[in-house]
Amino acid sequence: MTGFVSFIGSGPGDPELLTLKAVDRLKRADAVLFDDLSSGPILGHARPGADLVGVGKRAGRKSPKQHHVSRLLVDYAQESGRIVRLKSGDGGIFGRLEEELTALKDANIPYEIIPGVPSACAAAAAAGIPLTRRLTARRVQFVTGHDVTGQLPEDVNLAALADPTASTVVFMGKRTFPKLLATLMEYGLPSATPAILAEGVSTPEQHITRHTMASLADHLSREISDQPALILYGPLAS
């Protein structure tokens, strides 16, 4: 017999943004493997006596390797029982979900995926804006701000990211944003394009600031907090 794994998107951090299905699985779990941003009050929904195992990865901090996380997940599931893998935001958006799914499939372990509130949607709500607008912002695009080396990815569609009529959300991009802006300006994106820096979204540390692309790049070249953040830019960020 093997166990069953529930992949849960925990949302951006506010426990009230968990889905009812997510809370149900947490209350019945024998073990919970959680990301850093899924810790704190969210774990208060876990069943008393459940094993709580931190496996989160954060930029600039010593973190477990992904293959170790996948192996640990398989090991727990092979001991049978109900296992929850708690991922911040929605696990299918820059959450390395597929690598863990592959490990379970290779081990013939059943699973389910429970979506969560994407952090990009929570950031837009916190800033008081929509992500789309009829006629003027018909497209939304999500992009990661760094690759496995921590550098700006070289294989992104820069022409698409420079589209002034699209709403763009950059994940994990504070350190590489000045370089990204310099590149996007070469593709025609105005430096005066509105931008929002959303830090600690839906947590007590939430901080939302409004900028132009140029002023945000200047700010991030001088000062970077350790809060998780998203950058939103485009016509709706003004």
- Which among 35, 87, 174, 213 is annotated as catalytic? 35
Options 14, 87, 90, 172, the catalytic residue: 172
Please report the pLDDT score of residue 238 as a whole number.
81
pTM summary value: 0.91
152-169 residue pLDDT tens: 888 899 999 999 999 999
The conformational region for residue 200 under phi > 0 = left, psi -120 to 50 = alpha, else beta, is: left
pLDDT (tens digit per residue) in 187-232 = 999 999 999 999 999 999 999 999 999 999 999 999 899 899 999 9
- Residue 1: the pLDDT is 65
Is residue 142 within 8 A of residue 123, CB to CB? The reply is no
Active site residue 57: yes
> Is residue 172 among the annotated active site residues?
yes
Mean pLDDT value across residues 119-140: 95
Write down the mean pLDDT value for the chain: 93
Concerning whether 27 is annotated as a catalytic residue, the answer is no
How many residues belong to the chain?
238
What pLDDT sits at residue 62?
A: 63
Active-site residue, from 36, 57, 163, 179: 57
Domains and CATH numbers, the chain: 4-114 (3.40.1010.10), 119-237 (3.30.950.10)
Interhelix angle 177-186/213-222, nearest 10 degrees: 150
Enumerate long-range contacts of 57-64, CB under 8 Å, 24 or more apart. 58/228, 59/146, 59/150, 59/172, 59/175, 60/226
- Do 174 and 180 meet the contact criterion of CB atoms below 8 Å apart? no
